[in-house]
Structure 1
Amino acid sequence: MKNKIILFLFIVIIAFTRCSSDNNKTNPQLDHNPKNLTIFCVNDVHGQIDNFAKVKYIVDEEKAKNDVIVVSAGDLFSGNPVVDNHPEKGFPMIDIMNRIGFDIAALGNHEFDYGTTNLKNRMNQSHFDWVCANVDMQNSGVPQPFEYKSIQTSQLKICFLGLIETNGKEDDVIPSTHPWRVQELQFERPEDVVSLYANVKAEENADLYICLSHLGFNGNDHVLGDSQLANKFPYFDMIIGGHSHDKINTVINNIPIFQSGSYLKYLGKIELVVKDKKIESINFNLIDLNKYSHFDAELKSVIETYNDQPYLTEVIGYSNRNHNSSQVGCFYTDALRSGLNVDVCFQNTGGIRSGLNEGDITKREIYEISPFNNGTVIYEMSVFDIKKFLRGSGSGFYYSGIKIKQDDQDVEIRDLQGKILSNDTVLSVGINDYIAAVHDTYFPQTGQIQDKTDAETIISFLENSTKAVDYPICDRYFRMQ
């Protein structure tokens, strides 16, 4: 009897072992060991390449001891003439990112500033992947980015979904770039597509699901920002954002959200411990690159070669004081009005990208103030039509050549001597063609297209002027309230 009991127990043990083995084959157990990962992130670099030699040093140092992923949350271009005016627009930026070893980048609105041909060339140049779930490149020739892409480290699989804002034009669905440069492309509002990717983490069997967002941090009832994304579409383990140039380190709806400022002044470092497909611990550190002293010597030499552009250091004028962007708005519109020889000039606030320092003015400074290579155009418009534009556009503008005041829900326009201009008075209006493209319903169908860009027009004005730039204040800004 004793032997029979022993034999029975032996059979039961064998059967249980086989059953357990079969279950493990069909339902593998999670690896419960915690795993470390570091993600370095930048956003809104806008062509600023000088600190990338420091970024490479930091990234390489971390790679020697840990798994590392390096990401961009969009807007690599527009802001540095070394990058923007290169014979192959944007080439230095992608070359440097390749040398650092970037893994993935979200498309930002300013990635489209150079037009589709240049974007195609820059994406083909990249050794890293691009993600954007709400763009269709159609027949433009631009490579279609991944909606989402998983990156496998030695221990973890991290999936990134890309999103871009589409608030560039009131009556269209495009990002905030020159509308004429995205005519071949089709965009969808991010809030209309995010739910399609709710189950990507499970489908990819990823350890983490991260949104690489170029939406900006704060949206509203009609515009999706990262904060609304976390509340309305809580599919993500983390959101790494851009577009609003913020320094963000917060948690909304249990989702960490990070953003690393702008212009490569900071490098975001996210240190993670991941366990059972969840973030067990997280630490975010903004590395102040302007205070960081170490750099990769080889990459620094490459950057110095790119920066060696003597034409950018040519002195073309003098500034009597430090001018902030508002004061530059007055200088810009005065210079453009004179250079185009028109009655009136307007400039959108977003087109003034830099201040103007006291002292000698170089070509570089003007290209930094106006980096988008926008064309210039002259229209003949009645005062009545100018008022319609100011009332209906919903935007704010610096201006030159007239005096503007809001009168209840109407606009009063006077000449520089203070005389009220009648509605049927016709004025010549000079603007950059971005304004004409975004607010096309308020401008005539045809205008006089000029040979020079806005920046080139201002440079020419300075080269032919002996007067120093001096704007203690700028009170020529109007936005309908």
Structure 2
Amino acid sequence: MLFRKIYFVVFVLLLAIFSACQSDKNMTAATTRVVIISTNDIHAQIDHFPKFATFLKQIRAENPHVLLVDGGDRFSGNVYVDNAKEKGKPMFDLMGKLGYDVATLGNHEFDYGEAALNKRISASSFPVICANMQTKGTSLQQPDPYRIIEKAGIRFCFLGLIGTNAVTHIPATNPDNVKDITFRYYKTAAFENRKLKNQCDVFIGLTHIGFVGDSLLAIAMPELDVIIGGHSHTLIEGPLRINNVLVSQTGSNLKYAGVTYLDFKGKKLVNKTYKAVKLDTFAEDAEIKAMVREICNRPEFKEKIGTTSKGLKYKENVANMVTDAMSEAADCDFAFYNSGGVRYNSIPAGDITRETIYRIEPFNNYIVKHRLTLNEMKRLILNRFNGLKNQENRRIDLFVSKGRYTILKNEEGEGVDVVFVDKNGNKLKDPEQEFTVGLSNYVNSTYDFIGKGKGENTHIPIVEAMEKFVQTQGDVNNQERRTFINKK
């Protein structure tokens, strides 16, 4: 697996180097330039919109022909967007104000459920496209697979694609949110739309499949002129050509914007290049700043609910607070919460507000209870650990309450056993001993273990469990480490 990955990376780099050599040889006297401004994986970071607006105004003042596009994942990451009266609406309002032309779907667009997403798409001032999903029989309107936009007399075709899990065949969201939607492999849908090349002057993949997926698509589908991507949070700072397809992505959280320059003689594309622009040096646009201030005018989220006199310096410290809160709220022996669900990696010393709690867990997950044996808890942890096929990427994924555990690895880096110690320091030995275990509904639905998709729904939101826990504790200062990896 490692050899194959290295081979693929080398292959992509060679293609990129070869393509780069072709970049400017046709550029002599281009008569028309079209600029595409791109964003991806904004994750509701609306505080960055005022600076982005200033940058956008500058680009539009300097260039008469500008398109503005987004590569998905607009939701999940800001308390005021994720908990708005109409979930997600502030993001679409801001994007509409800035004049987006087209966007694709990301996996986090489904975090609020079908009905909420349908409201946002139906009311959107810009089209949201996706070629590899079928919504028949659901409350979600079927998005168009592509959109052709004319700018300066040149026809640009944007093809929308979303990535899916190779096993579950759905995007990375709670399965309950997409249970009636059918998704297809992105390449299958892309190949079916190759004919679009004949209907436009520029063929662009607007994708949410990650950098590796974009690289594979560029190799397999040279009909594309440009791929504007998302999902992997990869920051591509300068022009990268793979199989002569210009591939871009701007990291995440609207820290950068992508600028793709396309030069034409008549309607023929003769040069293409790209750069990422860091936005932190731009002044804030007053009008957009006022919009953001109004969106954030929610006094209830500023309310202090506790303190941390020492601060929670690391992600595991924050996660410990989450799992401890779950255990207390649902009366569990142990609770587990996934690393990707912790969206606030540290909390500085000082007040803990309600906003802090919602920033940690923006997904509105709730607690599901199970009765699991020691062996079954071990399998839950090991299945997830070993599911990361590349051993360099293997890491602790599940944080724990009321105890600690150590994953034991063999020489190949595979997890082979888990040593559990309870809160009193006693090693757990009986493989058939049963425990009450709390999980988030996301882990319950997506992780591979004997109780997958089952368990008792407590109907206790994790944010409410955290709020009560912090209020009860008063001062939260759990600095201990509870998860470890060692060689056997």
**How has the CA–CA distance of structure 1 residues 153 and 477 changed in structure 2, closer, same or farther, with 3 Å as cutoff?**
farther
SS in 2 for 1:464: helix
Q: Give the structure 2 partner of residue 210 of structure 1.
A: 204
Q: Give the structure 1 partner of residue 171 of structure 2.
A: 175
CA offsets 1:214-270 (integer angstroms, 9 cap, x no match): 01112xxxxxx1111111222210111111112113221111111111111122222
What displacement does 1:278 show?
A: 4.7
The match for 1:343 among 295, 319, 333 is 333
The match for 1:267 among 252, 257, 263 is 257
Alpha-carbon distance in 2 for matches of 1:453, 1:36: 51
What displacement does 1:427 show?
A: 0.4
TM (norm. structure 1) is 0.86
Alpha-carbon distance in 1 for matches of 2:422, 2:439: 18
What displacement does 1:46 show?
A: 0.6
What displacement does 1:130 show?
A: 1.1
Equivalent position amino acid for 1:208 in 2: V
**How has the CA–CA distance of structure 1 residues 300 and 259 changed in structure 2, closer, same or farther, with 3 Å as cutoff?**
same
The match for 1:448 among 446, 456, 464 is 456
Alpha-carbon distance in 1 for matches of 2:364, 2:471: 19
Equivalent position amino acid for 1:51 in 2: H
Query: 1:93-172 maps to which residues of 2 (within 5 A)?
Result: 93-167=91-165, 171-172=167-168
Greater radius of gyration (CA)? 1
Query: 1:185-200 maps to which residues of 2 (within 5 A)?
Result: 185-200=181-196
Matched, 1:327 2:334: no
Q: Give the structure 1 partner of residue 234 of structure 2.
A: 246
The match for 1:434 among 442, 448, 463 is 442
Query: 1:373-388 maps to which residues of 2 (within 5 A)?
Result: 373-388=364-379
- Kept in 2, the 8 Å contact 1:207–1:276? The answer is no
TM (norm. structure 2) is 0.84
Q: Give the structure 2 partner of residue 305 of structure 1.
A: 294
The match for 1:41 among 38, 41, 66 is 38
Q: How many residues align?
A: 438
- Kept in 1, the 8 Å contact 2:215–2:242? The answer is yes
The match for 2:481 among 474, 477, 480 is 474
CA offsets 1:89-141 (integer angstroms, 9 cap, x no match): 00111111111110100100000000000000000110101111111111112
**How has the CA–CA distance of structure 1 residues 159 and 444 changed in structure 2, closer, same or farther, with 3 Å as cutoff?**
closer
Alpha-carbon distance in 2 for matches of 1:90, 1:60: 24
Matched, 1:368 2:356: no
- Kept in 1, the 8 Å contact 2:55–2:279? The answer is no
What displacement does 1:53 show?
A: 2.6
Alpha-carbon distance in 2 for matches of 1:187, 1:479: 39
**How has the CA–CA distance of structure 1 residues 280 and 338 changed in structure 2, closer, same or farther, with 3 Å as cutoff?**
same
- Kept in 1, the 8 Å contact 2:400–2:482? The answer is no
What displacement does 1:181 show?
A: 0.7
- Please provide the CA RMSD for this pair: 2.2
Matched, 1:284 2:274: yes
Q: Give the structure 2 partner of residue 317 of structure 1.
A: 306
What displacement does 1:369 show?
A: 1.3
- Kept in 1, the 8 Å contact 2:320–2:478? The answer is no
**How has the CA–CA distance of structure 1 residues 478 and 426 changed in structure 2, closer, same or farther, with 3 Å as cutoff?**
farther
Alpha-carbon distance in 1 for matches of 2:353, 2:273: 42
**How has the CA–CA distance of structure 1 residues 237 and 181 changed in structure 2, closer, same or farther, with 3 Å as cutoff?**
same
The match for 1:53 among 43, 50, 62 is 50
Alpha-carbon distance in 2 for matches of 1:115, 1:468: 33
Equivalent position amino acid for 1:361 in 2: I
What displacement does 1:294 show?
A: 4.3
CA offsets 1:414-437 (integer angstroms, 9 cap, x no match): 323222231221101011100001
Q: Give the structure 1 partner of residue 26 of structure 2.
A: none
Alpha-carbon distance in 2 for matches of 1:367, 1:278: 50
**How has the CA–CA distance of structure 1 residues 253 and 479 changed in structure 2, closer, same or farther, with 3 Å as cutoff?**
farther
Moved more, 269-278 or 72-81: 269-278
Alpha-carbon distance in 2 for matches of 1:322, 1:391: 27
**How has the CA–CA distance of structure 1 residues 353 and 444 changed in structure 2, closer, same or farther, with 3 Å as cutoff?**
closer
CA offsets 1:336-361 (integer angstroms, 9 cap, x no match): 22332211111111111122331211
Alpha-carbon distance in 2 for matches of 1:300, 1:386: 48
Alpha-carbon distance in 2 for matches of 1:176, 1:414: 32
Alpha-carbon distance in 2 for matches of 1:294, 1:468: 36
Q: Give the structure 2 partner of residue 230 of structure 1.
A: 218
CA offsets 1:135-165 (integer angstroms, 9 cap, x no match): 1111112121111111111321110011111
SS in 2 for 1:97: helix
**How has the CA–CA distance of structure 1 residues 71 and 197 changed in structure 2, closer, same or farther, with 3 Å as cutoff?**
same
What displacement does 1:279 show?
A: 3.7
Alpha-carbon distance in 1 for matches of 2:298, 2:403: 39
Alpha-carbon distance in 1 for matches of 2:320, 2:33: 52
Alpha-carbon distance in 2 for matches of 1:201, 1:419: 63
Q: Give the structure 2 partner of residue 400 of structure 1.
A: 401
Alpha-carbon distance in 1 for matches of 2:268, 2:378: 56
What displacement does 1:397 show?
A: 1.1
Alpha-carbon distance in 1 for matches of 2:406, 2:50: 49
SS in 1 for 2:368: strand
Moved more, 273-282 or 261-270: 273-282
Alpha-carbon distance in 1 for matches of 2:201, 2:452: 55
- Kept in 1, the 8 Å contact 2:77–2:343? The answer is yes
SS in 2 for 1:247: coil
- Kept in 2, the 8 Å contact 1:398–1:477? The answer is no
Alpha-carbon distance in 2 for matches of 1:123, 1:405: 45
Identical aligned residues as a percent: 33
What displacement does 1:445 show?
A: 5.9
Alpha-carbon distance in 2 for matches of 1:275, 1:338: 67
Moved more, 337-346 or 368-377: 337-346
**How has the CA–CA distance of structure 1 residues 278 and 456 changed in structure 2, closer, same or farther, with 3 Å as cutoff?**
farther
Moved more, 336-345 or 117-126: 336-345
**How has the CA–CA distance of structure 1 residues 441 and 468 changed in structure 2, closer, same or farther, with 3 Å as cutoff?**
closer
